[in-house]
Structure 1
Amino acid sequence: MMNGKLDWVYPEELEITTAYWWSPDSRYVAYLQMDERSVPEYPIVDFIPYHAVIEPERYPKAGDPNPIVRVGVVALKNPQTIWMDVGKDTDIYIPRVMWLPDGKTLAIQRLNRAQNQLDLLFADATTGKSRCALRETDSHWINLHDHLYFLKNGKRFLWSSERDGFRHFYLYNIDGKLLRQLTSGNWQVVSLCGIDEKKGIVYFTATEKDVLERHLYRIKLNGSGFKRLTSRDGTHHIVMAPDCRHYLDYYSTVVTPIQLSLHRANGKRVAFIAENQVAELQEYVLSTPEFLTITTEDGVTLHAMMIKPADFDSTKKYPVIVHIYGGPHAQVVRNAWGGSGYLWHQMMAQKGYIIFSLDNRGSYGRGKAWETTIYHRFGEVELKDQLCGVEYLKSLPYVDSQRIGIWGWSYGGYMTCYAMLNAPEVFKVGVAVAPVTDWRDYDTIYTERYMGLPKDNPEGYEVSSPVNQVANLKGKLLICHGTSDDNVHFQNAVQLADKLIKACKQFDLMLYPGKKHGIRGQNARIHLFTKITNYFLENL
């Protein structure tokens, strides 16, 4: 039983960072109570000490009982909990809690287990009585957001929804009556940056200009005055000042490391804070990535990116490494700085490989219909689109079609395993880092959102899990996993290894003792990428 403290799965999958909330006047504190007693324990074993240590983790796998949650409020003058009425159903999630400006009312978001109904409740902090001000429903699943904003006069609030197929802003009065839809179009609102209530202006980032980019926009609360404020092509991460008179712009492109600048609210730059030229990168002679689009047989446009060797010669034949993630609510192909992973891809390009990435259907940024194509069946649509990208590669005269490899991490590790087992004639080499290999082993919130409960979708779980397809393996497969991974458990690697051995299939396995999902610390990351580098050099 935890009061004001979060478990593992809520922060990971609901992106909630705290379990208590002070009222604006600091007279009350609301908190989340989590009863984990029915949640099964998973043993994370630390094998490094002389006597191995078991660290039990409460981890609800798909279909398991979840923590029972409720919201309480305590007044500082009378420290007795008043429980808010969140309904009779206890098999729910409470992903968001916040105070209204009056300091007496709580806004509680209640999400059902199937994650296709989200209710916005207003609860009286002194009595616990609540009413449902707004309800969102979806035939697939509801993506959560952090765009709820109450205007200080307490009469209106801003909300976002994907009800028209793309995430947009909606303005409501406090009774839950829709006043107007503020934004619209075949593009996504990404983040709410701030609201200048005196001027009635909403500042936000969105994909309106280009799905590969992020830009700052403004629109008035009356729905007029829509305008893009950032001009440079690329990705702008915005931090707005509390008074909305200035903002910080963390700007990057695929070839420009993050630059930091200060701007007025109208977009005019005041000063560079960190121009970040990174002259040291020049000596490495990095290749400029190429963005491209590929059209599927059914007319769908896919975005892709390619990195060629700096000394590229179109008369030569090059092997290809496909870098894949492929999972929902994620985007790999973006005009943004890619960090250390991008630099490793540049290094592999210098060693004579073409690096290729593609965002398949199910990825982020192109609307709800695009994202929900994967519903109840992971892997199938994603691989179909990735293979469309491979067919494009094979059509290029400088690609060696017999030397195509694939690698990915987490969901990308899963997709690597899935691709090696479902398209064994296509991929010669695969490297899967921290892969899910059986979706019954992953947590409730993420897995059930997209796959439903195992009892309701047994066939989907069966055909989506690589552990059931090991007989198809033909190429070279390296599995890398941290033994203390509390996200994608090491059990996934063990279960896949067990099935491969029983099928008499040769593979390679690299363990990282005591390392979690990110495989960091004590040279582990260097060791990992050295291992991956050598595996491709030796086998592709």
Structure 2
Amino acid sequence: MKKVCLLLLVVFGTFISAPAQKSALSVEEIMRDPSWMGTFPSNVQWSADSKTIYFNYNPENNPADSLYKIQVSDTEKIIKVPLKEAKGLIPSSGDFNEALDRKVYTRNGILFLYDYNEHQEKQLLELEDRISHPEFLANEAVIAFQLSNNLFTYHLTSGEVRKLTHISDGEKPEKKEAKSSVKDKWLKSENLDLLQVIHERENKKEKQKAYREATKEKEKFTFYTGKKRLANLQISPDAKFVTFSLITPAEERKNTFVPDYTDVTGYTTDLDARPKVGAEASKVETAIYNLEKDTVYYIQTDRLPGIKDLPDYVTDYPEREWKAENRTVITSGAYFAQNSQAIINIRSTDNKDRWIALLNLEDGSLQTLDRQRDEAWIAGPGIGYSFGGGTLGWLPDGEHIYFQSEATGYSHLYLYNVKTNKKKALTKGEFEVFSPSLSRDGKYWYLTTSEVHPGERHFYRMPVLGGKMEKLTSKEGNNRTSLSPDEKHLAILHSYSNQPWELYLKPNDGKAKAVQLTNGQSEAFKSYEWRDPELVHFEAQDGAQVPARLYTPTPSTANGAAVIFVHGAGYLQNAHKWWSSYFREYTFHNLLADLGYTVLDIDYRGSAGYGRDWRTGIYRHMGGKDLSDQVDGAKYLIDELGIDSEKIGIYGGSYGGFITLMALFNESETFAAGAALRSVTDWAHYNHGYTSNILNEPFNDPIAYRRSSPIYFAEGLQGHLLIAHGMVDVNVHFQDVVRLSQRLIELGKDNWEMAVYPVEDHGFVEPSSWTDEYKRILKLFNSTLLDESTD
């Protein structure tokens, strides 16, 4: 087996010839611009009258997708939408009245109203500044909207515009009075004593001033934001209260910079990127503007249950003194019921707690309705992040709030009655709920779930207070469903493992058949028989059943070698039954299987789609169970499929690149070779939002970072390693692999190589870069796992 001994492999190199076994595919073909596969619909939306489906499409191979449409009455014709019609579409954002027959929205900063009964649009208001966030108030003759960080109302009948809030940036101006020196005061006093006329005039002036002060109108209240940034203005339906967020930027927030060596100017320029994990966070407060009392006060969170709770990991640091004090939190804007009751979502910045509380608008006090605590981190479908509450709101009855929670270990939909203080689970079982929404009449839920299979998604209807779910889609795979405004039809983007997305239409009836509207596969794509990878499970060393996708060669071409693919993002699902977002890797796995390789694609611990315990299985130790799942996958390949234990490679990008490094450094007896693409090498250098969830902060939990970062284990490299990275990657910085390469040099390792891509960010764009990278990956596996020599 020939070793690769280059320290730096120049991007524009030569490659070995293909192995003896042939494939109808080639790296050059499958890594072309994705348009070679065909044109596939995306971003489906309905017309306001429910007669037309709009979607992005590109059958003409333009530089970018264009907008197309299909009429429900004539599904045979796919029509390109004229630019004027496209610009005039009713936006998906906006607000409906209670009867759901009128909608207010903005387009290009202009206020519009659409009447669904008359199917007519009316322009209401255009001002110098952009109007945004319109909504109906309880008195539906009045619309509230935002303009330049203040709220206004527009009366539909009279056309009157009224300013509700008086919020101003900066500090309140101070009244400056002229100061007199001791000398000046003495001169004035002497003059008044000596000159009677001057004395009388001064007395008259003082009386006039006193009269003006006594009779002038009260100065209007203005709230000044100071150095804080305003966000999230919300108004109660009765127009008595406004809530808003105030964000105080961190005083010491040090951003990183990524040098761009290929800037068009010919000079090296710095791209402004993100801070590193542990950077000081901005402070977020929520305030209430009492419009009747003309005053502002803050929501107080210091009495939330458990606000002083310490995380469990502190027990790993007995030498440190931990103080139980109020944790910092991030509060959302208010969620108002039609009767103007309000709830608020609150998250602790240490990621351990989420509270949903009833907000007393009169004094800013809170009544906790639901507390979700996770000693790992709060997340999951519909849970929400940062400012957002995810799935959260009120039923039309004004008594029930709805939200999602992982209380049972899976994210399910709940109701909470604010009058009886009773919580009810509307869904239950070992599956997850996605994107629930209410029907127009408020009697039903529409929701997507994984109830049928973790690797499938189907659309359901369910009574609003719970009951049997009616399954409305039937095609195996994923069904991304868009309900028509009149709720009579479903527009469905459907795909299967080896079939890209196509658009279907069916009546809103579980028994009805879906009709395919698009057929976008190119002849080149259809000419190859793409594998339907088998969904399998294997047993992990801790007894867990690990899901994976398996690509197998024909028995006559099998070469006894295997490649394990590690998907990126950590929290992502790829062992499923629909067209993967990793479509390039999917085609590459077909090529590998043609060449005799067996390919295993694992939804390791930390992946999405399998509930809370799977999601948090990597807490405080990335490169723990997520890595041992790869090792157990290799054992499955050896024991069940007869793979040669010395012929197993591994590769992946981003999080997958990180796992590849950990595999080559810590499991060298299992993996003979690996390709680590755009890899995190030291988690202390990654971003805050993602990393602090899983590993806490490096200065609070250094143990977690030390055992999770590949750079600390580089001395364990035994097999052959390819590192590939874009040099203008503003997500996982090129600095990561630069530091690792220096470590490998200092360790005297010579069985690694690096390919750098000067014009690529985290997600590659250029087909030439994709081609170059995957040729190198194929070369690595051919030359190490198959022992094929090259000149």
| 1:359 corresponding residue in structure 2 | 603
Does the alignment pair 1:236 with 2:479?
yes
Does the alignment pair 1:56 with 2:272?
yes
Does the alignment pair 1:450 with 2:694?
yes
The C-alpha deviation readout for 1:449-503, integer Å capped at 9, x for no partner, is: 1112223322221111100001110111111112222221222111211211111
Does the alignment pair 1:336 with 2:578?
yes
CA distance in 1, matches of 2:473, 2:251: 50
The amino acid across from 1:48 in the alignment is: T
SS at match of 1:190: strand
**Contact 1:329/1:364 (<8 A) preserved:** yes
Structure 1 pair 332–523 and aligned structure 2 pair: CA distance change class (3 A): same
| 1:472 corresponding residue in structure 2 | 716
CA distance in 2, matches of 1:34, 1:280: 55
| 1:5 corresponding residue in structure 2 | none
CA distance in 2, matches of 1:118, 1:353: 46
CA distance in 2, matches of 1:446, 1:251: 30
Instruction: Spell out the pairing of 1:346-495 with structure 2 (5 A cutoff).
Output: 346-396=590-640, 398-495=642-739
CA distance in 2, matches of 1:328, 1:200: 37
**Contact 1:104/1:126 (<8 A) preserved:** no
Does the alignment pair 1:324 with 2:566?
yes
Write 1 or 2 for the structure with the bigger share of strand: 1
The C-alpha deviation readout for 1:428-463, integer Å capped at 9, x for no partner, is: 111111111111111222112111222332222111
> By how many angstroms is 1:125 displaced?
8.1
Instruction: Spell out the pairing of 1:192-203 with structure 2 (5 A cutoff).
Output: 192=436, 194-196=437-439, 198=441, 200-203=443-446
| 1:245 corresponding residue in structure 2 | 488
**Contact 1:213/1:335 (<8 A) preserved:** yes
Does the alignment pair 1:85 with 2:285?
no
Does the alignment pair 1:222 with 2:465?
yes
> By how many angstroms is 1:121 displaced?
4.7
SS at match of 1:318: coil
> By how many angstroms is 1:326 displaced?
7.1
| 1:40 corresponding residue in structure 2 | 254
| 1:536 corresponding residue in structure 2 | 781
The amino acid across from 1:248 in the alignment is: A
CA distance in 2, matches of 1:93, 1:530: 47
| 1:524 corresponding residue in structure 2 | 769
| 1:208 corresponding residue in structure 2 | 451
**Contact 1:317/1:400 (<8 A) preserved:** no
The amino acid across from 1:147 in the alignment is: T
SS at match of 1:393: helix
SS at match of 2:645: strand
CA distance in 1, matches of 2:571, 2:422: 27
Instruction: Spell out the pairing of 1:158-307 with structure 2 (5 A cutoff).
Output: 158-174=402-418, 177-192=421-436, 194-196=437-439, 198=441, 200-267=443-510, 268-269=512-513, 271-276=515-520, 278-307=522-551
CA distance in 1, matches of 2:562, 2:534: 15
The amino acid across from 1:26 in the alignment is: A
Does the alignment pair 1:137 with 2:379?
no
User: What TM-score, normalized to structure 2?
Assistant: 0.60
| 2:742 corresponding residue in structure 1 | 498
CA distance in 2, matches of 1:263, 1:244: 11
**Contact 1:320/1:353 (<8 A) preserved:** yes
* Higher relative contact order (Cα pairs below 8 Å, separated by 6+ residues): 2
More divergent stretch after superposition (103-112 vs 505-514): 103-112
The C-alpha deviation readout for 1:392-431, integer Å capped at 9, x for no partner, is: 1112565233221111111111101011111112111111
Q: Of residues 331, 345, 370 in structure 2, which corresponds to 1:109?
A: 345
**Contact 1:317/1:397 (<8 A) preserved:** no
Does the alignment pair 1:67 with 2:282?
yes
CA distance in 2, matches of 1:134, 1:287: 46
**Contact 2:568/2:652 (<8 A) preserved:** no
The C-alpha deviation readout for 1:354-391, integer Å capped at 9, x for no partner, is: 22112223322222223322221111111212111101
CA distance in 2, matches of 1:414, 1:472: 15
More divergent stretch after superposition (119-128 vs 433-442): 119-128
The amino acid across from 2:253 in the alignment is: V
**Contact 1:289/1:306 (<8 A) preserved:** yes
Q: Which structure 2 residue ranges, 5 or more long, are not aligned?
A: 1-92, 94-131, 137-142, 146-150, 152-231, 234-243, 303-325, 385-389, 786-791
The amino acid across from 2:754 in the alignment is: L
> By how many angstroms is 1:266 displaced?
2.2
**Contact 2:288/2:297 (<8 A) preserved:** yes
CA distance in 2, matches of 1:335, 1:466: 32
**Contact 1:246/1:263 (<8 A) preserved:** yes
Percent pairwise identity: 27
More divergent stretch after superposition (136-145 vs 65-74): 65-74
Structure 1 pair 203–300 and aligned structure 2 pair: CA distance change class (3 A): same
Name the count of aligned residue pairs. 515
The amino acid across from 1:392 in the alignment is: Y
More divergent stretch after superposition (506-515 vs 414-423): 506-515
SS at match of 1:55: strand
CA distance in 1, matches of 2:340, 2:769: 50
**Contact 1:134/1:176 (<8 A) preserved:** no
The C-alpha deviation readout for 1:287-307, integer Å capped at 9, x for no partner, is: 332222212344321212111
**Contact 2:563/2:598 (<8 A) preserved:** yes
CA distance in 1, matches of 2:360, 2:485: 28
User: What TM-score, normalized to structure 1?
Assistant: 0.86
**Contact 1:326/1:362 (<8 A) preserved:** no
CA distance in 2, matches of 1:259, 1:370: 31
Rg (Cα) greater in structure = 2
> By how many angstroms is 1:106 displaced?
6.4
Structure 1 pair 501–108 and aligned structure 2 pair: CA distance change class (3 A): farther
> By how many angstroms is 1:182 displaced?
0.5
CA distance in 1, matches of 2:767, 2:295: 46
**Contact 1:82/1:126 (<8 A) preserved:** no
**Contact 1:160/1:170 (<8 A) preserved:** yes
CA distance in 2, matches of 1:451, 1:258: 36
More divergent stretch after superposition (349-358 vs 521-530): 521-530
More divergent stretch after superposition (402-411 vs 484-493): 484-493
**Contact 2:559/2:597 (<8 A) preserved:** no
Q: Of residues 348, 352, 355 in structure 2, which corresponds to 1:119?
A: 355
CA distance in 2, matches of 1:237, 1:467: 41
CA distance in 2, matches of 1:124, 1:484: 49
**Contact 1:420/1:473 (<8 A) preserved:** yes
